[in-house]
Structure 1
Amino acid sequence: METTTFSKFSAEFFGTLVLVLMGCGSAVIAGADGTSGVGLLGISFAFGLSVVAMAYAIGHISGCHINPAISIGMVVVGRMKFIEAVIYIIAQVLGAIAGAAILYLIASGKDGYALADGGLGQNGYEAGSPAGYSLLSGFVAETVFTFIFLMVIFGSTSTKNINGGFAGLAIGLSLVLIHIVGIKVTGVSVNPARSIGPALVVGGQAISQVWLFIAAPVLGSILSAVVWRFLLERN
């Protein structure tokens, strides 16, 4: 039986909601303090494990993109129609906003929490960067990390890959690896929806800087798709 468009939309909405709630929530609620919280390594695994969990929960329904960069990349490599990608991206952005809103409702229940100070795990560069990295560093990092992330996705989901059943695990672990390296640079996006959701709720600087976390991941996705389609998996 063919999966309906509404089912795919709902799956992408839910999956992206979970990614933002659990991934960003690990930073906001569980804490980045290595002595009393999960630390940067814990946050890295939270994002990766969210992808692994959703891959096996909704992968058979929508493919578990939960990331506009992935949907765009799938269009470029010829695995997805443009109009379907548009529907996916709308669902992903709405899901990210919902996830950020839920996270805010939970976090605001703690005495002393302030949105302006605690944030919602939003991405940033320069003053918004966790370690003060520049705009150029952030743009290069997000572009290259997305390129690598999409390359793992294309390879692990290829029909030529005999280990395709482990695709969800490979993709999730690659996201963990990217976060381990990149959290201090931008907080790691590689996913425009993941950045848009928290930015819209937090506002201010997060909104003014969110353009980078749309442009760089999309660029990295397209470059990765072109390399994959015309160089690596070329017949």
Structure 2
Amino acid sequence: MKTALITGANKSIGFETARQLVQQGYFVYLGSRDIKKGQQAVSQLQAEGLHQVEPIEMDVDDMESIKAAREVLGQKTQVLDVLINNAGIPGNFPQTASETDSSVFKQVFETNFFGVIEVTQAFMDLLRQSPEPRIVNVTSGLGSLTLHSDPSWKYYEVKPACYVSSKAALNAYTIVLAHDLRDTSFKINAVDPGYTATDFNNHSGPGTVADAAARVVKAAVLGPDGPTGQFFSDDNAPETGISPW
């Protein structure tokens, strides 16, 4: 049975991603900063008859918490097939490039960028034991520098400085990580789940959590001939599914 670890998975897109992966036969370790909320999420899935899931306490902003989670997971499995870096924060609003204090940038980057790096490196040894390891970095269409430079883009005026910068950095990390591991069986991609109605945006998005999670899952279960080092976005590129960087 393949295994997956999802950060920030006790609600919204992460939770639905866990549900869909369990339904596809994966054993999912549901990462949650608050273990009680993680346990509640697991209980909900188990009530639906989905039992291949366990909570893992992990705060991606805290290296000691990440190390502790790695130790716990290592006691449960020697192989991790899928890592989904889903945890993320928008930061306080408004966010302008000229006036927002650097402390807000640092806070957002700590979760959306540095947290991803630290989690990925902490679990890399378990991923290397998988014959077909997959890493999915959940990004945003707002991380596209190309589109942010195009006045005709539908989200051109939406530029929360801290969030945009953090996701653009995450996209860059995805590219260099995929290049690092290009001669292995790793598939490493960034996925924009789309503008989805979640707590993250006060349920303002038009998309459903189910559709958003399906996009993430698609990248998580790529076969050996699947792409790596790509930026998937049905929202930004409905015809090809590949967003410009």
Going by fraction, where is strand more abundant, 1 or 2?
2
Going by fraction, where is helix more abundant, 1 or 2?
1
Instruction: Give the TM-score of the pair, scaled to structure 2.
Output: 0.32
Instruction: Give the TM-score of the pair, scaled to structure 1.
Output: 0.33
